[in-house]
Chains A and B, each alone.
Chain A
Amino acid sequence: MARISTRFLTLLAAAFIALSSAASAQTVPAEGEPRAETGGAQTLEDILRRQENQKMDDSFRSEAIGNPDAAAPTTGQLGTLGGVSDAEFWRAYRYNELDELGDVSASAKGPSGDTSVTQVVIQDTGMTWLNFRAGPLKNYGGYLLLGTNAILAVFFLFRGRIMIDGEKSGKTITRFKGIERFAHWTLAGSFVLLAITGLVQLFGRFFIIPLIGHEAFAPVAIGGKWIHNNVSWAFMLGLVMVTVMWVKHNIPNKLDLKWFAVGGGLFSKGVHPPAKKFNAGQKIIFWGVIFLGVSISVSGLSLLFPFELSMFAATFAHMNDLGLPQLIGMEALPTDLAPHTEMQLSQTWHAIVGFLFMALIIGHIYIGSIGMEGAFDAMGSGQVDEQWAKEHHGLWYEEVTGKPAYKDAHPAE
Protein backbone atom coordinates (compact mmCIF):
# COMPACT_ATOMS: atom_id res chain seq x y z
CA MET A 1 0.00 0.00 0.00
CA ALA A 2 2.82 2.30 0.95
CA ARG A 3 4.53 1.52 -2.38
CA ILE A 4 1.37 2.42 -4.35
CA SER A 5 1.02 5.67 -2.44
CA THR A 6 4.64 6.55 -3.17
CA ARG A 7 4.19 5.85 -6.89
CA PHE A 8 1.01 7.89 -6.98
CA LEU A 9 2.67 10.84 -5.31
CA THR A 10 5.64 10.58 -7.66
CA LEU A 11 3.36 10.62 -10.71
CA LEU A 12 1.41 13.54 -9.30
CA ALA A 13 4.60 15.50 -8.73
CA ALA A 14 5.88 14.70 -12.24
CA ALA A 15 2.60 15.80 -13.79
CA PHE A 16 2.65 19.04 -11.78
CA ILE A 17 6.22 19.80 -12.87
CA ALA A 18 5.43 19.03 -16.52
CA LEU A 19 2.31 21.18 -16.52
CA SER A 20 3.97 24.11 -14.81
CA SER A 21 7.00 24.05 -17.14
CA ALA A 22 4.74 23.78 -20.21
CA ALA A 23 2.69 26.71 -19.02
CA SER A 24 5.76 28.85 -18.48
CA ALA A 25 7.29 27.91 -21.89
CA GLN A 26 4.27 28.76 -24.00
CA THR A 27 2.74 32.16 -24.48
CA VAL A 28 -0.95 31.44 -24.73
CA PRO A 29 -2.95 34.20 -26.42
CA ALA A 30 -5.41 35.96 -24.19
CA GLU A 31 -9.15 35.71 -24.75
CA GLY A 32 -10.18 37.60 -27.90
CA GLU A 33 -6.76 37.53 -29.52
CA PRO A 34 -6.29 35.68 -32.84
CA ARG A 35 -6.05 31.92 -32.42
CA ALA A 36 -6.87 32.16 -28.73
CA GLU A 37 -9.11 29.12 -29.10
CA THR A 38 -6.19 26.97 -30.25
CA GLY A 39 -3.64 28.35 -27.84
CA GLY A 40 -1.72 30.06 -30.67
CA ALA A 41 -1.65 27.13 -33.11
CA GLN A 42 -3.30 27.29 -36.51
CA THR A 43 -7.06 27.26 -36.66
CA LEU A 44 -9.55 25.56 -38.92
CA GLU A 45 -9.90 28.87 -40.80
CA ASP A 46 -6.13 28.90 -41.44
CA ILE A 47 -6.26 25.38 -42.83
CA LEU A 48 -9.24 26.19 -45.05
CA ARG A 49 -7.57 29.32 -46.38
CA ARG A 50 -4.43 27.35 -47.19
CA GLN A 51 -6.44 24.67 -48.97
CA GLU A 52 -8.09 27.33 -51.10
CA ASN A 53 -4.69 28.75 -51.95
CA GLN A 54 -5.41 32.01 -50.11
CA LYS A 55 -2.89 33.96 -48.12
CA MET A 56 -2.86 33.34 -44.40
CA ASP A 57 -1.01 35.03 -41.58
CA ASP A 58 1.53 32.41 -40.54
CA SER A 59 3.47 34.69 -38.23
CA PHE A 60 2.28 32.58 -35.32
CA ARG A 61 4.49 29.89 -36.81
CA SER A 62 7.26 31.82 -38.54
CA GLU A 63 8.00 33.91 -35.44
CA ALA A 64 7.91 30.98 -33.04
CA ILE A 65 11.59 30.15 -33.37
CA GLY A 66 12.61 30.28 -29.73
CA ASN A 67 14.62 32.82 -27.84
CA PRO A 68 18.22 31.95 -27.02
CA ASP A 69 18.68 35.22 -25.09
CA ALA A 70 16.13 34.11 -22.56
CA ALA A 71 17.57 30.64 -22.29
CA ALA A 72 18.98 29.16 -19.16
CA PRO A 73 22.75 28.68 -19.36
CA THR A 74 23.84 25.40 -20.86
CA THR A 75 25.23 24.43 -17.51
CA GLY A 76 21.85 24.88 -15.91
CA GLN A 77 18.85 22.59 -15.92
CA LEU A 78 16.73 22.67 -19.14
CA GLY A 79 19.37 24.85 -20.73
CA THR A 80 20.97 22.35 -23.06
CA LEU A 81 18.97 23.42 -26.11
CA GLY A 82 19.94 27.02 -25.73
CA GLY A 83 16.39 28.27 -25.45
CA VAL A 84 15.29 26.69 -28.70
CA SER A 85 13.20 23.56 -28.86
CA ASP A 86 13.43 21.11 -31.75
CA ALA A 87 10.22 22.44 -33.29
CA GLU A 88 11.42 26.02 -33.01
CA PHE A 89 14.75 25.09 -34.49
CA TRP A 90 13.09 23.49 -37.57
CA ARG A 91 10.82 26.49 -38.00
CA ALA A 92 13.90 28.71 -38.10
CA TYR A 93 15.25 26.43 -40.81
CA ARG A 94 12.04 26.66 -42.76
CA TYR A 95 11.71 30.42 -42.61
CA ASN A 96 15.41 31.05 -43.15
CA GLU A 97 15.76 32.69 -39.73
CA LEU A 98 18.73 30.71 -38.48
CA ASP A 99 20.74 33.87 -37.97
CA GLU A 100 18.26 34.88 -35.29
CA LEU A 101 19.35 31.89 -33.25
CA GLY A 102 22.98 32.97 -32.98
CA ASP A 103 25.38 30.21 -31.96
CA VAL A 104 22.64 27.64 -32.00
CA SER A 105 22.53 27.90 -35.80
CA ALA A 106 26.24 27.38 -36.35
CA SER A 107 26.05 23.63 -36.83
CA ALA A 108 23.20 23.98 -39.30
CA LYS A 109 25.23 26.04 -41.74
CA GLY A 110 28.00 25.17 -44.09
CA PRO A 111 31.66 25.76 -43.25
CA SER A 112 31.50 29.38 -44.38
CA GLY A 113 28.06 30.15 -43.01
CA ASP A 114 26.57 29.15 -46.37
CA THR A 115 22.80 29.00 -45.94
CA SER A 116 22.32 26.94 -49.11
CA VAL A 117 22.94 23.98 -46.84
CA THR A 118 19.67 24.74 -45.10
CA GLN A 119 17.91 24.73 -48.48
CA VAL A 120 18.89 21.12 -48.86
CA VAL A 121 17.18 20.26 -45.59
CA ILE A 122 14.04 22.31 -46.15
CA GLN A 123 13.58 23.29 -49.77
CA ASP A 124 11.06 26.10 -49.96
CA THR A 125 11.32 26.63 -53.73
CA GLY A 126 9.42 23.37 -54.14
CA MET A 127 6.22 25.28 -53.42
CA THR A 128 7.13 28.01 -55.90
CA TRP A 129 7.75 25.31 -58.51
CA LEU A 130 4.51 23.54 -57.70
CA ASN A 131 2.47 26.74 -57.86
CA PHE A 132 4.09 27.77 -61.14
CA ARG A 133 3.47 24.34 -62.63
CA ALA A 134 -0.16 24.20 -61.56
CA GLY A 135 -0.79 27.86 -62.44
CA PRO A 136 0.97 29.96 -65.08
CA LEU A 137 2.68 27.04 -66.83
CA LYS A 138 -0.53 25.10 -67.25
CA ASN A 139 -2.61 28.15 -68.15
CA TYR A 140 -0.30 29.99 -70.54
CA GLY A 141 0.94 26.74 -72.07
CA GLY A 142 -2.65 25.71 -72.73
CA TYR A 143 -3.50 29.13 -74.18
CA LEU A 144 -0.47 28.91 -76.48
CA LEU A 145 -1.55 25.56 -77.93
CA LEU A 146 -5.20 26.54 -78.24
CA GLY A 147 -4.22 29.92 -79.73
CA THR A 148 -1.95 28.29 -82.30
CA ASN A 149 -4.74 25.97 -83.39
CA ALA A 150 -7.19 28.87 -83.52
CA ILE A 151 -4.86 30.98 -85.70
CA LEU A 152 -4.36 28.07 -88.09
CA ALA A 153 -8.11 27.44 -88.25
CA VAL A 154 -8.74 31.11 -89.11
CA PHE A 155 -5.93 31.03 -91.69
CA PHE A 156 -7.43 27.91 -93.25
CA LEU A 157 -10.87 29.50 -93.38
CA PHE A 158 -9.58 32.55 -95.24
CA ARG A 159 -6.80 31.06 -97.38
CA GLY A 160 -8.02 27.53 -97.79
CA ARG A 161 -5.70 24.81 -98.93
CA ILE A 162 -2.70 26.07 -100.90
CA MET A 163 -3.13 24.23 -104.19
CA ILE A 164 -0.71 23.54 -107.01
CA ASP A 165 -1.38 26.51 -109.33
CA GLY A 166 -0.21 24.95 -112.57
CA GLU A 167 -1.29 21.71 -114.11
CA LYS A 168 0.20 18.61 -112.53
CA SER A 169 2.79 17.02 -114.78
CA GLY A 170 2.14 13.46 -113.70
CA LYS A 171 5.90 12.98 -113.47
CA THR A 172 7.55 12.86 -110.06
CA ILE A 173 11.03 13.49 -108.72
CA THR A 174 12.56 12.29 -105.47
CA ARG A 175 12.27 14.98 -102.85
CA PHE A 176 13.65 13.04 -99.86
CA LYS A 177 15.57 9.77 -99.80
CA GLY A 178 14.52 6.87 -97.62
CA ILE A 179 17.10 7.60 -94.91
CA GLU A 180 15.96 11.23 -94.74
CA ARG A 181 12.34 10.17 -94.35
CA PHE A 182 13.32 7.59 -91.74
CA ALA A 183 15.13 10.27 -89.73
CA HIS A 184 12.21 12.70 -90.09
CA TRP A 185 9.62 10.17 -88.97
CA THR A 186 11.79 8.93 -86.10
CA LEU A 187 11.97 12.50 -84.89
CA ALA A 188 8.33 13.25 -85.67
CA GLY A 189 6.83 10.04 -84.27
CA SER A 190 8.82 10.24 -81.06
CA PHE A 191 7.98 13.94 -80.70
CA VAL A 192 4.25 13.28 -80.96
CA LEU A 193 4.50 10.54 -78.32
CA LEU A 194 6.58 12.78 -76.05
CA ALA A 195 4.18 15.69 -76.52
CA ILE A 196 1.07 13.64 -75.73
CA THR A 197 2.59 11.91 -72.70
CA GLY A 198 4.07 15.20 -71.48
CA LEU A 199 0.68 16.88 -71.68
CA VAL A 200 -0.90 13.94 -69.85
CA GLN A 201 1.61 14.35 -67.01
CA LEU A 202 0.86 18.08 -66.72
CA PHE A 203 -2.87 18.23 -67.45
CA GLY A 204 -3.93 14.78 -66.27
CA ARG A 205 -4.72 15.94 -62.74
CA PHE A 206 -6.99 18.69 -64.03
CA PHE A 207 -8.73 17.12 -67.02
CA ILE A 208 -8.32 13.34 -67.06
CA ILE A 209 -8.72 12.41 -63.38
CA PRO A 210 -12.13 14.17 -63.18
CA LEU A 211 -13.21 12.13 -66.21
CA ILE A 212 -11.90 8.64 -65.43
CA GLY A 213 -10.92 8.79 -61.76
CA HIS A 214 -7.64 8.26 -59.89
CA GLU A 215 -7.58 4.48 -60.22
CA ALA A 216 -7.93 4.50 -64.00
CA PHE A 217 -5.53 7.41 -64.39
CA ALA A 218 -2.72 5.74 -62.43
CA PRO A 219 -1.77 3.20 -65.15
CA VAL A 220 -2.17 5.93 -67.80
CA ALA A 221 0.29 8.15 -65.91
CA ILE A 222 2.75 5.31 -65.24
CA GLY A 223 2.58 4.13 -68.87
CA GLY A 224 2.95 7.69 -70.09
CA LYS A 225 6.01 8.17 -67.92
CA TRP A 226 7.57 4.98 -69.31
CA ILE A 227 6.94 6.13 -72.87
CA HIS A 228 8.21 9.65 -72.14
CA ASN A 229 11.42 8.39 -70.53
CA ASN A 230 12.30 5.73 -73.08
CA VAL A 231 11.05 7.21 -76.35
CA SER A 232 13.23 10.25 -75.67
CA TRP A 233 16.24 8.32 -77.01
CA ALA A 234 14.60 7.88 -80.42
CA PHE A 235 13.88 11.60 -80.43
CA MET A 236 17.52 12.43 -79.78
CA LEU A 237 18.66 9.98 -82.46
CA GLY A 238 16.27 11.53 -84.99
CA LEU A 239 17.43 15.01 -84.01
CA VAL A 240 21.08 14.13 -84.62
CA MET A 241 20.30 12.46 -87.98
CA VAL A 242 18.19 15.35 -89.23
CA THR A 243 20.80 17.89 -88.15
CA VAL A 244 23.63 16.06 -89.90
CA MET A 245 21.69 15.51 -93.13
CA TRP A 246 20.01 18.88 -93.53
CA VAL A 247 22.11 21.53 -91.83
CA LYS A 248 24.00 22.42 -95.02
CA HIS A 249 20.69 23.06 -96.82
CA ASN A 250 19.46 25.37 -94.07
CA ILE A 251 22.19 27.98 -93.95
CA PRO A 252 20.43 31.35 -94.32
CA ASN A 253 21.08 33.26 -97.55
CA LYS A 254 19.70 36.26 -99.47
CA LEU A 255 16.99 34.14 -101.08
CA ASP A 256 15.35 34.00 -97.68
CA LEU A 257 14.84 37.77 -97.73
CA LYS A 258 12.98 37.48 -101.02
CA TRP A 259 10.87 34.69 -99.54
CA PHE A 260 10.00 36.81 -96.51
CA ALA A 261 9.27 39.85 -98.71
CA VAL A 262 6.31 38.07 -100.29
CA GLY A 263 5.31 36.15 -97.16
CA GLY A 264 6.44 32.94 -98.80
CA GLY A 265 3.43 33.14 -101.11
CA LEU A 266 1.32 31.85 -98.24
CA PHE A 267 -1.13 34.73 -98.30
CA SER A 268 -1.76 35.13 -102.03
CA LYS A 269 -2.37 32.73 -104.87
CA GLY A 270 0.09 32.42 -107.72
CA VAL A 271 3.04 33.83 -105.78
CA HIS A 272 6.02 31.46 -105.67
CA PRO A 273 9.28 32.93 -104.39
CA PRO A 274 12.37 31.04 -105.57
CA ALA A 275 13.77 28.50 -103.14
CA LYS A 276 16.34 25.76 -103.02
CA LYS A 277 15.79 22.49 -101.13
CA PHE A 278 14.43 24.37 -98.12
CA ASN A 279 12.69 27.74 -98.21
CA ALA A 280 12.98 30.39 -95.48
CA GLY A 281 9.88 29.14 -93.67
CA GLN A 282 11.28 25.63 -93.54
CA LYS A 283 14.58 27.01 -92.31
CA ILE A 284 12.76 28.64 -89.40
CA ILE A 285 11.21 25.27 -88.59
CA PHE A 286 14.58 23.54 -88.94
CA TRP A 287 16.51 25.89 -86.68
CA GLY A 288 13.61 26.01 -84.23
CA VAL A 289 13.65 22.23 -84.05
CA ILE A 290 17.43 22.17 -83.56
CA PHE A 291 17.61 24.80 -80.82
CA LEU A 292 14.46 23.73 -79.00
CA GLY A 293 15.36 20.07 -79.55
CA VAL A 294 18.82 20.40 -78.07
CA SER A 295 17.52 22.47 -75.17
CA ILE A 296 14.70 20.06 -74.38
CA SER A 297 17.07 17.09 -74.72
CA VAL A 298 19.58 18.52 -72.26
CA SER A 299 16.94 19.43 -69.70
CA GLY A 300 15.34 16.02 -70.33
CA LEU A 301 18.61 14.23 -69.64
CA SER A 302 18.91 16.23 -66.44
CA LEU A 303 15.48 14.89 -65.44
CA LEU A 304 16.26 11.34 -66.58
CA PHE A 305 19.36 11.24 -64.39
CA PRO A 306 18.35 13.28 -61.34
CA PHE A 307 21.06 15.35 -59.63
CA GLU A 308 23.70 14.25 -62.15
CA LEU A 309 23.44 17.18 -64.57
CA SER A 310 23.13 20.47 -62.74
CA MET A 311 23.39 23.25 -65.26
CA PHE A 312 21.33 26.22 -64.12
CA ALA A 313 23.80 27.62 -61.57
CA ALA A 314 26.55 27.68 -64.21
CA THR A 315 24.17 29.09 -66.84
CA PHE A 316 22.99 31.81 -64.47
CA ALA A 317 26.60 32.70 -63.66
CA HIS A 318 27.38 33.14 -67.37
CA MET A 319 24.25 35.23 -67.84
CA ASN A 320 25.21 37.41 -64.91
CA ASP A 321 28.72 37.86 -66.32
CA LEU A 322 27.22 38.98 -69.62
CA GLY A 323 24.92 41.36 -67.77
CA LEU A 324 21.80 39.89 -69.37
CA PRO A 325 19.49 40.04 -66.31
CA GLN A 326 20.57 43.62 -65.65
CA LEU A 327 19.73 44.56 -69.26
CA ILE A 328 16.05 43.98 -68.56
CA GLY A 329 16.16 45.54 -65.10
CA MET A 330 16.46 42.32 -63.13
CA GLU A 331 18.80 41.59 -60.26
CA ALA A 332 21.62 39.14 -60.80
CA LEU A 333 20.33 35.57 -61.00
CA PRO A 334 21.11 33.22 -58.11
CA THR A 335 24.18 31.08 -58.67
CA ASP A 336 24.10 29.19 -55.39
CA LEU A 337 21.35 26.68 -56.11
CA ALA A 338 20.37 23.65 -54.08
CA PRO A 339 20.25 20.34 -55.98
CA HIS A 340 16.46 20.23 -55.78
CA THR A 341 16.23 23.77 -57.13
CA GLU A 342 18.29 22.65 -60.11
CA MET A 343 15.83 19.83 -60.74
CA GLN A 344 12.82 22.13 -60.41
CA LEU A 345 14.35 24.60 -62.87
CA SER A 346 15.12 21.75 -65.27
CA GLN A 347 11.53 20.57 -65.16
CA THR A 348 10.17 24.09 -65.58
CA TRP A 349 12.48 24.85 -68.50
CA HIS A 350 11.71 21.44 -70.07
CA ALA A 351 7.99 22.21 -69.98
CA ILE A 352 8.31 25.79 -71.30
CA VAL A 353 10.48 24.66 -74.21
CA GLY A 354 8.04 21.78 -74.76
CA PHE A 355 5.12 24.16 -75.19
CA LEU A 356 7.04 26.39 -77.63
CA PHE A 357 8.13 23.28 -79.50
CA MET A 358 4.57 21.97 -79.73
CA ALA A 359 3.27 25.30 -81.04
CA LEU A 360 5.99 25.32 -83.71
CA ILE A 361 5.31 21.73 -84.74
CA ILE A 362 1.54 22.23 -84.91
CA GLY A 363 2.23 24.88 -87.56
CA HIS A 364 4.60 22.50 -89.35
CA ILE A 365 2.09 19.65 -89.29
CA TYR A 366 -0.59 21.96 -90.65
CA ILE A 367 1.39 23.15 -93.66
CA GLY A 368 2.75 19.68 -94.28
CA SER A 369 -0.69 18.05 -94.39
CA ILE A 370 -4.02 19.83 -94.96
CA GLY A 371 -2.45 23.25 -95.49
CA MET A 372 -0.71 22.52 -98.80
CA GLU A 373 -1.49 20.17 -101.65
CA GLY A 374 1.36 17.78 -102.38
CA ALA A 375 3.37 18.62 -99.27
CA PHE A 376 2.76 15.33 -97.48
CA ASP A 377 3.97 13.33 -100.49
CA ALA A 378 7.43 14.81 -100.03
CA MET A 379 7.77 13.05 -96.68
CA GLY A 380 5.28 10.22 -97.30
CA SER A 381 6.43 8.52 -100.48
CA GLY A 382 9.35 10.87 -100.98
CA GLN A 383 8.11 11.64 -104.51
CA VAL A 384 6.67 15.02 -105.53
CA ASP A 385 5.07 16.13 -108.75
CA GLU A 386 7.43 18.16 -110.91
CA GLN A 387 4.94 21.03 -111.04
CA TRP A 388 4.86 21.15 -107.24
CA ALA A 389 8.66 21.19 -107.16
CA LYS A 390 8.79 24.02 -109.74
CA GLU A 391 6.37 26.16 -107.76
CA HIS A 392 7.70 25.65 -104.25
CA HIS A 393 11.37 24.77 -104.72
CA GLY A 394 12.18 25.98 -108.23
CA LEU A 395 15.93 26.38 -107.77
CA TRP A 396 16.18 22.95 -106.18
CA TYR A 397 14.19 21.56 -109.13
CA GLU A 398 16.69 23.10 -111.54
CA GLU A 399 19.61 21.65 -109.58
CA VAL A 400 18.12 18.16 -109.51
CA THR A 401 16.72 17.94 -113.05
CA GLY A 402 18.90 20.40 -114.96
CA LYS A 403 15.71 21.78 -116.50
CA PRO A 404 14.48 25.38 -116.07
CA ALA A 405 11.76 25.99 -113.51
CA TYR A 406 11.10 29.63 -114.33
CA LYS A 407 10.32 31.57 -117.48
CA ASP A 408 12.92 34.14 -116.42
CA ALA A 409 16.44 32.77 -116.51
CA HIS A 410 17.44 33.70 -112.95
CA PRO A 411 14.51 34.96 -110.92
CA ALA A 412 16.48 34.99 -107.72
CA GLU A 413 19.44 37.00 -108.88
Chain B
Amino acid sequence: MKAMFIAFVGIFVIAIVADQVLHRAGFAIDEVTSAPSVRLD
Protein backbone atom coordinates (compact mmCIF):
# COMPACT_ATOMS: atom_id res chain seq x y z
CA MET B 1 0.00 0.00 0.00
CA LYS B 2 3.05 2.23 0.32
CA ALA B 3 3.19 2.86 -3.43
CA MET B 4 -0.45 3.94 -3.37
CA PHE B 5 0.04 6.49 -0.60
CA ILE B 6 3.23 7.82 -2.18
CA ALA B 7 1.30 8.25 -5.43
CA PHE B 8 -1.47 10.16 -3.67
CA VAL B 9 1.06 12.49 -2.05
CA GLY B 10 2.72 12.81 -5.46
CA ILE B 11 -0.55 13.93 -7.03
CA PHE B 12 -0.86 16.67 -4.42
CA VAL B 13 2.75 17.80 -4.87
CA ILE B 14 2.45 17.83 -8.68
CA ALA B 15 -0.72 19.92 -8.43
CA ILE B 16 0.92 22.52 -6.18
CA VAL B 17 4.03 22.70 -8.36
CA ALA B 18 1.97 22.94 -11.56
CA ASP B 19 -0.08 25.76 -10.12
CA GLN B 20 2.98 27.70 -9.00
CA VAL B 21 4.95 27.14 -12.20
CA LEU B 22 2.08 28.16 -14.46
CA HIS B 23 1.29 31.16 -12.30
CA ARG B 24 4.90 32.39 -12.30
CA ALA B 25 5.22 31.70 -16.03
CA GLY B 26 2.39 34.13 -16.71
CA PHE B 27 -0.35 31.64 -17.49
CA ALA B 28 -2.70 32.87 -14.78
CA ILE B 29 -6.11 33.61 -16.26
CA ASP B 30 -6.02 37.29 -15.30
CA GLU B 31 -2.68 37.72 -17.04
CA VAL B 32 -3.63 35.78 -20.15
CA THR B 33 -7.04 37.31 -20.71
CA SER B 34 -6.49 40.90 -19.61
CA ALA B 35 -4.85 43.88 -21.19
CA PRO B 36 -4.55 47.57 -20.34
CA SER B 37 -8.04 48.07 -21.76
CA VAL B 38 -9.56 44.89 -20.26
CA ARG B 39 -8.99 44.26 -16.60
CA LEU B 40 -10.45 41.32 -14.71
CA ASP B 41 -9.40 42.48 -11.23
Contacts and interface: CB of A to CB of B under 8 A. Distances in A.
Given A185-B8, A226-B19, A233 B14 contact: yes
Interface in B1-41: 1-4, 6-8, 10-11, 14-16, 18-19, 27, 32-33
A279 interface: no
Interface in A266-316: 305-306
B14 A237 contact: yes
Contacts of B3: 178-179, 181-182, 185, 382
A381 B5 CA distance: 11
A193 interface: yes
Contacts of A346: none
A227 interface: yes
Interface string A174-198: 0000110111111011100100000
Contacts of B8: 185, 189
Among B3, B7, B14: residue with most chain A CB under 10 A = B3
Interface string A233-259: 110011000000000000000000000
A380 B11 contact: no
A178 B6 CA distance: 10
A230 interface: yes
Among A185, A226, A238: residue with most chain B CB under 10 A = A185
Q: Is the interface of B mostly helix, strand, loop or mixed?
A: helix
Contacts of B16: 230
A209 to B, nearest CB: 23
B15 A230 contact: yes
A305 B2 contact: no
A199 interface: no
Q: Give chain A's interface residue range (CB within 8 Å of chain B).
A: 20 to 34
Contact of A186 (B11, B27, B32): B11
A231 B11 contact: yes
Given A182-B10, A186-B10, A233 B15 contact: yes
Nearest to B29: A306
Given A186-B7, A189-B8, A306-B32, A380 B1 contact: yes
Contact of B15 (A234, A379, A380): A234
Among B2, B8, B11, B14: residue with most chain A CB under 10 A = B11
B10 A234 contact: yes
Contacts of A183: 7
B7 A182 contact: yes
Contacts of B6: 182
Contacts of B32: 306
Nearest to B15: A230
A86 B36 CA distance: 27
Among B1, B7, B27, B32: residue with most chain A CB under 10 A = B7
A165 B4 CA distance: 28
A226 B32 CA distance: 17
B26 to A, nearest CB: 12
Nearest to B5: A185
Interface of B: 1-4, 6-8, 10-11, 14-16, 18-19, 27, 32-33
17 contacts: A181-B3, A181-B4, A182-B6, A182-B7, A184-B7, A185-B4, A185-B7, A190-B11, A193-B11, A230-B14, A231-B11, A231-B14, A234-B11, A237-B14, A305-B27, A380-B1, A381-B1
Given A234-B15, A379-B4, 9 more contacts: A181-B4, A183-B7, A185-B7, A188-B7, A193-B11, A229-B19, A234-B11, A237-B14, A380-B4
Interface of A: 178-179, 181-186, 188-190, 193, 226-227, 229-231, 233-234, 237-238, 305-306, 379-382
4 cross-chain pairs, A with B, having the tightest CB-CB distances, nearest first: A185-B7, A181-B3, A230-B15, A234-B11
